[in-house]
Amino acid sequence: MADTIDKNSQERVDETPCNILLVDDNPQNLRLLIAILSMRGYKVRPAPSGAIALESALSTPPDIILLDIMMPEMDGYEVCQKLKENELTSSVPVIFISAMDAVADKVKAFEMGAVDYITKPFQAEEILARVNTHLSLRRTQRLLEEEIERRKASEEILKVISMKYQKMATQDYLTGVSNRRYFMERAEEELSRANRYTHPLTFMMMDIDHFKRINDTYGHQAGDQILKNVANICVDTLRVHDLFGRIGGEEFSAMLPETTLNEALVVAERIRKAIEDAEWEIDGKKVCCTLSIGMSQLNDNSETLDNLMKKADEALYLAKSSGRNCIK
Ligand SMILES: [Mg+2]
C-alpha cells in the first residue's frame, strides 16, 4: 500500500520524529495504520482500548491522536472528551477515524473537539495528508505561541529598563529624591499653574551648615549618610503636594504650592527643628548637623522660577550670615 503513495505530496514537514497515538479496538486496523505511518518515519504508539489510550496519552502526550469511535467499554467520543478535559492533553489534535458516516456523527466529533474526521475505509494517502496537515498546523501554532511568549518577555524587559531609566533620569543617585533637572521641570509646572490662577506659592532653598567640615571630620561616607538623612527628614516633614529635590552638593530646594509665606514658615521651622534635634551614629561616632533655609514667595503673576530662586538664594545667604541654623 505504501508504494502507491505519492512521495512528493506527502513529504514530512520536518525531520523531528512525530509521536502519534493510534487508538482502535480492531488489531487489523491498528496494524494497517502502523504500517502506513511508520513508513513516513512517524513514531507510532498503538492503544487497543480507550482506557489504555488515556493512560498512554497522559503519561507522554503525543503530537497527534488517531481515534476510532466505536469501541467497547469506552467509545471514542468519551476518550476525546477526557483528553480535552485534561490540561496535559487538551491541546493535542484528535482525528477521528470511523466507519460511521452520518453527518450527526461527524458534527458530534467536532463538537467533542476533534480537528478532523476520516471515514473508513480510508486511503493511506488521505491518512498521511491529514496527519501531515494537522501536525504542521500544530507546529505553526506552537511557533506562534512561542513567539508571542518571547515578545511578551521582551516587552517586560523593556518595561523594566524604561522604568529604571525613568528613575535614573529623575532621581538623585545618592538620596533618591528628585534631581535638579526633574525638580526644576516640576517646579516650572507648579509655578505656571500658580501664576495662571494667582494662587499663593512659596519657594525654599536649604543648605546644610558647615557641610565641608562634616566631610573633613568624619569622611565622605559620613557626609553622604548625612545628605541622605537630611533628605529623608525633609521628605517626611513636607506635605504630599510639596516638591523637593537635591539641587547641588549639600543644597536642597522645595516648592510649596497653595502655601503662603506664613504657612510655609511653619513647615520650614518644623524641618529646621527636626534636623537640629536629630543625631546619627555613623561608624560609632555621634554626628549631627543644622540647616539654613531661605524662602521666597510668589508676588505677582508674572514671576519666573529664576527670580523666585534668586530671592530664596539671597534669603539663604542672609540666614548663613546671621549665624546659620535659621530661616530667612
Ligand atoms: Mg472500532
Q: Specify whether 105 is located in the same domain as 210.
A: no
Query: How many angstroms does the Cα of residue 21 sit away from the middle of ligand 1?
Result: 15
79 domain-assigned: yes
pTM above 0.85, yes or no: no
List the alpha helices (DSSP H) in 25-123: 27-39, 50-59, 76-85, 103-111
> What pLDDT, on a 0 to 100 scale, did the predictor assign at position 15?
53
Same domain, 252 and 121: no
**What average pLDDT does the segment 13-19 reach?**
65
d(CA 308, CA 297): 7
What confidence score (pLDDT) does residue 132 get? 92
Using the mean position of ligand 1's atoms as its centre, give its distance from the Cα of residue 45 in Å.
17
Number of separate domains in the chain? 2
Q: Which of 15, 250, 281, 303 is catalytic?
A: 250
Indicate whether 107 and 232 sit together in one domain: no
Q: How many CB atoms lie within 10 A of CB 258?
A: 16
Residues 140 and 204 in one domain: no
> Can you tell me the distance from the alpha carbon of 204 to that of 295, in angstroms, rounded to the nearest whole number?
5
Are 129 and 192 within one domain?
no
Confidence of residue 142 (pLDDT cuts 50, 70, 90): confident
In a domain, 162, yes or no: no
The answer to whether residue 151 is domain-embedded is no
Domain end (from 145, 169, 197) = 145
3-state secondary structure of 257: strand
Is residue 158 one of the residues assigned to a domain? no
- Residue 316 phi/psi, 5-degree rounding, is -65, -40
Ligand 1 center–CA 55 separation, angstroms: 18
- 200-219 tens-digit pLDDT: 999 999 999 999 998 899 88
Query: How far, in Å, is the centroid of ligand 1 from the Cα of 188?
Result: 81
Instruction: Tell me what pLDDT residue 285 has.
Output: 84
Residue 254 in any domain: the answer is: yes
* Mean pLDDT computed over every residue of the chain: 91
In this structure, the answer to whether residues 207 and 98 fall within a common structural domain is: no
Residue 250 among the catalytic residues: yes
Residue that is last in its domain, among 120, 145, 170: 145
**Full residue range of the structural domain in which residue 16 is found:** 2-145
Same domain, 14 and 135: yes
Q: Residue 50 belongs to a domain with what CATH number? A: 3.40.50.2300
As a whole number of angstroms, the distance between CA 32 and CA 21 comes to: 14
| DSSP3 helix / strand / coil % (the chain, rounded to 5) | 50, 20, 30
Answer yes or no: do 137 and 26 share one domain: yes
For residue 23, is pLDDT > 90?
A: yes
How many C-beta atoms lie closer than 10 Å to residue 181's C-beta? 12
